[in-house]
Amino acid sequence: MKVVYPKHIKKGIFGTMSFQIGPFTISIIQLFILAAGIALALGVFNAVGQDSRAVGIIFAIPVFLIFVVIAFFEVSELPLIPFIAKLAKTYFFDATKKYQVNYEKIDKTQVLIKEAASQEKKQVIEYKTDSNVDEKTLEWIEKWWLLG
């Protein structure tokens, strides 16, 4: 049995837990994504910015912004991964249908039925003329009505 949730209700344990920070409401999942983004940006800052802090900041900010976009991405009530899956399904896996007017579609089963009917098979009976029975025995068989 499939359970259908209204679109405004988040599913799961972590979907319902959220924090109010100023005017923003952040869920636990968004908070984890932001924490991972901050940790990765700090790692990039420490690795690249050993000589100059400005270079470290230049490389760390885009990494953090990517995680911010991932955390707060929502288009037509879809988070990022379901949205990308929907785009992939729509643009890569769905085949466009072409429609023609004044065209009678050929039914494949009717074609197969007509092909099978046109190839009627006739049974061929072969008679052997060579036999080990001599004429005297054949006359005796016909006389006593053993055949036919």
Do 72 and 42 contact (CB within 8 A), yes or no?
A: no
Q: In terms of Cα–Cα distance, which of 34, 41, 83 is closest to 58?
A: 41
Helix residue ranges, H only, the chain: 13-16, 28-48, 53-72, 80-88, 108-118, 135-143
pLDDT tens string 34-45:
899 999 999 999
Residue-level pLDDT at 19: 75
Q: In terms of Cα–Cα distance, which of 48, 53, 50, 21 is closest to 34?
A: 21
First to last CA, the chain: 71
Do 38 and 63 contact (CB within 8 A), yes or no?
A: no
Residue-level pLDDT at 139: 79
Per-residue pLDDT of the chain (148 residues; tens, 9 = 90+): 565 655 555 556 665 677 777 887 777 888 888 899 999 999 999 998 888 889 999 999 999 999 888 888 777 677 777 888 888 888 877 666 667 777 777 888 988 888 877 766 666 667 666 667 777 877 777 777 655 5
Residue-level pLDDT at 62: 94
d(CA 121, CA 49): 85
